[in-house]
Amino acid sequence: MKVMKIFMALAISAAIGFTGCKPKDADIKTAIETKMKADPDMAKTTVDVKDGVATISGECKDEACKAKCEKEVASVKGVKSVVNNCTVAAAPVVFTPPVITADDPLTQAVTDATKDFAGVVASVKDGVITLTGEIKKDLLPKLMMSLNSLKPKKIENQLTIK
Partner 1 sequence: MALAEKYKELTDAAAAGGITDLQSREQDGVLYINGTAPSGAVKDQLWDIYGKIDPDFRAGDLILDVNVAVDANVTKVKVITESSNLNIRKGPGTDQPIVGKAAHHEIITLVNRSNEQWWLVRTADGEEGYSYARYLEPVAE
* Contacting residues toward partner 1, per CB under 8 A: 95-98, 108-109, 111-113, 115, 140-142, 144-146, 148-157, 161
Which residue lies nearer to partner 1 by CB, 4 or 94?
94
Which residue lies nearer to partner 1 by CB, 53 or 150?
150
How distant is the alpha carbon of residue 65 from its chain centre? 13
State the minimum distance, in angstroms, from the CB of residue 82 to partner 1. Answer: 36
Neighbouring-strand partners of residue 134: 160
Residue 89 carries which DSSP code?
Answer: P
State the minimum distance, in angstroms, from the CB of residue 123 to partner 1. Answer: 14
State the minimum distance, in angstroms, from the CB of residue 87 to partner 1. Answer: 22
CB of 77 within 8 A of CB of 105? Answer: no
Which residue lies nearer to partner 1 by CB, 84 or 107?
107
State the minimum distance, in angstroms, from the CB of residue 153 to partner 1. Answer: 7
Element housing 152 (H / E): none
Give the helix, strand, coil percentages of the chain, each rounded to 5. Answer: 45, 25, 30
